[in-house]
Chains A and B, each alone.
Chain A
Amino acid sequence: MPLSFTPVIGLEIHVQLATVSKLFCSCSTDYIGQKPNTNVCPVCLGLPGTLPVLNGRAVEFATKTALALNCRVRNRTRFHRKNYFYPDLPKAYQISQYDLPLAVGGYVELTEADGSKRRIGIQRLHLEEDTGKLVHIASDGRLSGALYSLVDYNRAGIPLMEIVSAPDITSPAQAKEYVARLRQLVRYLGVSDGDMESGSLRVDANISVKVSDGRWGKKSEIKNMNSLRAIERALEYEIERQSSMLARGEEVEQETRHWDDAAGVTRSSRSKEEAHDYRYFPEPDLLPLVLEEGFLEEIAESMPELPWEVFKRFEEVYGIEPEDAALLSERRDVAAYFEACVKAGASPDKAANWIKTELFRVMNECKCSADDFPVRPEALTELLRKVEQGDLSATAAKDVFGLMAGQGLRLDEAIKAAGVSVGKVSGGALKDIIDEVLRENAEVIEDIKSGRDKKGKKVKFLQGLVMRRTKGQADPQEVSELLDESLNN
């Protein structure tokens, strides 16, 4: 019987929290694009004699996430020191949580391709501080072969929330889905921007492969996966690599491997000169982390509706197709925008359609959020109403929308600026336009009159020109009648 291979995957995710100051000092967390070593102070540089003071907001954010992940949050926990030497770690220890994490035992529910539900367990969620950054570039800009590395501590001390999943994930697609759900959640909660490319959300994977003959390979830890796609590809590669080794009867080594996105392979990290021995012990510079009476209740009360709840409601209450409901509930700002349209009187279907095409297109261009999108939901609803009443064609409405979004015009101003009159172009006005078109297309008229338009294509062509010139504001029936009239004269 041929062997079969089952992957066993667990993910460790580090999420930078969107606090304005660092975890244990008052330095700004706004470090992207900053001059090196500017967001630093004696505390986050670990200078002698300095001491940490905990940022309460970081605790709030981590707690909020933990509750949303159905975790059990503990009222009393503590911080530990994780000791190791590395130049990006100023104190030579990281303040983290160890034996008593802030939260344990939650789950995320995923929907499989076939619609079935699957729960991925969360083992723990804890707070810790980020490290600085090493830059491996020589002064002359050479990328490799530099004789030295440069250290920037701007990132050192930014609060991180580490979320460790149970080894419940059984496919790369599932892993990707799990990360996507978590990223969506932290964005919904406003506790992180969740950006993978810039490193706000970093994923490490532990993966091993179980063989149907009872063998079980050792796990590797995969690092450096900087997008959802990378996670999927790296895990696919790794399953293939481990499975084929096991198929050949080889041993899989326990090691750390790096995903090389360009080459599409994982590579073994150059082995370290010693095994890690972090010598954890309770951080004596901090007292226990205590959540006061009522704190959890307060956090629970401030909890927004969660993305999966919003999704469900969009499906059930508004009858939106699952695919559209997923799109609309992906981001909290978009979901809120959609609902505001519906509340203002838009039909859910029409609003959904418009948002997933036009709103997304313009938002992509301006990189703005739906919260501060220049066309407010009420205005969009009004626009949609005009389309529905036949006052504006779909084409004209898009132009009007573009002007409202791009130049911040009010609906009436935009309609004027777009040169589309409200109501249909008909009667004399339409006749004028038709005459104009006919004047400009004398040859076509010749063709038609001389009977060379047997299939009526040329008449259709002229109708199209007229419609375009009226920006779709004419009734096609009327255009057809008036055009016939003129051609027959």
Chain B
Amino acid sequence: MAISEADVRRVALLARLEVTDEEARSLAEHFGKILEHFHRLQELELSEVDPFSLEGPGTPWRSDEAKPWGGRDEILSEAPRREGDFFVVPRIVEEE
């Protein structure tokens, strides 16, 4: 299955990865090879297979207790851009 550079760019935007023209070209080629490999999976009879079993133990439940965490300053100090107690990002045009 051929993958176009446009496909690569669409996926790259979805994944928020900047790719150069050169990268888009080589990735398209690589993608093609990989997808070819993936198509072998279709040789298998899978119609009866339930892929996501809900069997087995359930996820553990925590009791509802609030415990403050003391390390916020360490975390804020890692912020690339910070204003007071806030993280800073480029202006967001209100969309939702």
Contact = CB atoms under 8 A, between A and B. Distances in A.
In their complex, do chains A and B touch, with some C-beta pair under 8 Å?
Answer: yes
A28 interface: yes
Interface in A1-54: 19-21, 26-30, 35-42, 45, 47, 53-54
B92 A149 contact: yes
Given A76-B54, A256-B96, A282-B52, A28 B68 contact: yes
A27 B52 CA distance: 31
B67 A274 contact: no
Interface in A138-175: 139, 146-153
A272 interface: yes
Contacts of A30: 66
A151 B88 CA distance: 6
Interface residues of B, number: 38
Contacts of A56: 61-64
A226 B26 CA distance: 50
Contact of B75 (A45, A57, A151, A256): A45
A111 interface: no
A358 B93 CA distance: 48
Contacts of A289: 58-59
Interface stretch (B28-36, B38-46, B79-87): B79-87
B85 A26 contact: no
Contacts, number: 139
A367 interface: no
Contacts of B54: 76-78, 100, 288, 290
A41 B56 contact: no
B14 to A, nearest CB: 6
Contacts of A471: none
B87 A19 contact: no
B66 to A, nearest CB: 4
A81 interface: no
Contact of A290 (B59, B75, B81, B88): B59
B76 interface: yes
Contacts of B65: 20-21, 26
Interface of A: 19-21, 26-30, 35-42, 45, 47, 53-59, 76-79, 85, 87, 100, 134-136, 139, 146-153, 223, 256, 258, 269-270, 272-274, 277, 279, 282, 286-292
23 contacts: A20-B65, A26-B66, A27-B67, A28-B66, A36-B86, A37-B85, A40-B75, A54-B61, A56-B62, A57-B63, A76-B58, A77-B54, A79-B59, A87-B87, A87-B89, A136-B94, A148-B91, A149-B88, A150-B88, A152-B85, A152-B86, A290-B58, A291-B58
Closest 8 CB pairs of A and B: A290-B58, A56-B61, A57-B64, A41-B69, A150-B86, A287-B59, A28-B66, A36-B85
